[in-house]
Amino acid sequence: MAITFHPDGRVTGNKLKQPGMILKVQSDEIYQITEYSNSPGTYQSIDNKNFVTEGTNSNLLVQVELNGAITGSANADNNFKMDYNVAGGSYTDLNYNTVNTNSNNGNNMFGNIRGDSTQNGGINIFTTFLIVGNGIWSAGQTLNFRLFRIGESTFKMNLAYSDGASVGSPSRFGRAVSKIQFTEIST
């Protein structure tokens, strides 16, 4: 199919894809308030998100924002893990920390996370990582992402500690929303 440049500025036909061009942006919010109980040895599923690729051999920038509160004990250990597969294949862990971890939890995304005791157990985490898609997927394939939590005490997703206190309903400044954003970039 030919590319046609029209006098009114429209371009029709094949897509023009130059290296570094953003092909697609998808932002997925996690609104629900979910309570995860003490689970220091087993991952608990938080959410699954699908992303359908626009390009072949493109790169994918993944941004994750996690908000919540560790309410049982502000000094409890917690962490998160994210993995993905291409078109139902095997899962691959993302952005994992290989520094000083034990064999049970070696593919977590961060170092040890403890709720800030000065913020009554509140946590707010933001991370960004790049998946270089060279030969991993082609245009139109579905990437399935899974997000997990592992940790001690109780973690309340999207709920600040003050939301549990008597601060009014709704909270004075609203509550947190966690997010996962995908930005596909041509190579």
Domain count, the chain: 1
- The sign of the dihedral angle between the CA atoms of 39, 40, 41, 42 is positive
**Would you say how long the chain is, in residues?**
187
Kindly state whether residue 53 falls inside one of the protein's structural domains.
yes
| pLDDT on residue 168 | 44
Q: What is the Cα–Cα distance from 135 to 65, expressed in whole angstroms?
A: 28
Per the CB < 8 A criterion, the answer to whether 43 and 81 are in contact is: yes
| Tokens linked to 13 | 């036909």
Predicted pLDDT of residue 166: 39
Q: Is residue 12 part of a domain?
A: no
Does residue 2 lie within any of the structural domains? Answer: no
Q: Output the domain CATH number for residue 132.
A: 2.60.120.660
* Residue 49 belongs to some domain of the structure: yes
**In-domain check, residue 11:** no
Q: Which amino acid is at 171?
A: S
Answer whether residue 23 is part of any domain: yes
**Is residue 5 domain-resident?**
no
Q: Could you tell me if residue 71 is inside a domain? A: yes
Alpha helices, H only, the chain: 161-164
Q: In sequence order, which residues have a C-beta less than 8 Å from that of residue 153 and are 6 or more positions away?
A: 38, 70, 71, 72, 73, 76, 78
Predicted pLDDT at 165:
46
| Amino acid at site 134 | N
Indicate the pTM of the whole model: 0.82
> Using one digit for the tens of pLDDT, what is the confidence trace for 124-178?
889 999 999 888 999 999 999 999 999 888 888 888 655 444 344 555 666 788 9
Q: Are the beta carbons of 187 and 57 closer than 8 angstroms?
A: yes
Residue 187 confidence (pLDDT): 86
Residues in the chain, pLDDT under 70: 1, 11, 13-17, 74, 98-106, 115-121, 160-174
d(CA 19, CA 3): 18
DSSP 56-99: SS-EEEEEEEEEEEE-S-TT-EEEEEEEEEETT---EE-S---S
Domain, as residue range, for 179: 18-185
In the block, tokens 């997925």 appear at: 28
Number of alpha carbons in the 13 Å side-chain half-sphere of residue 80: 23
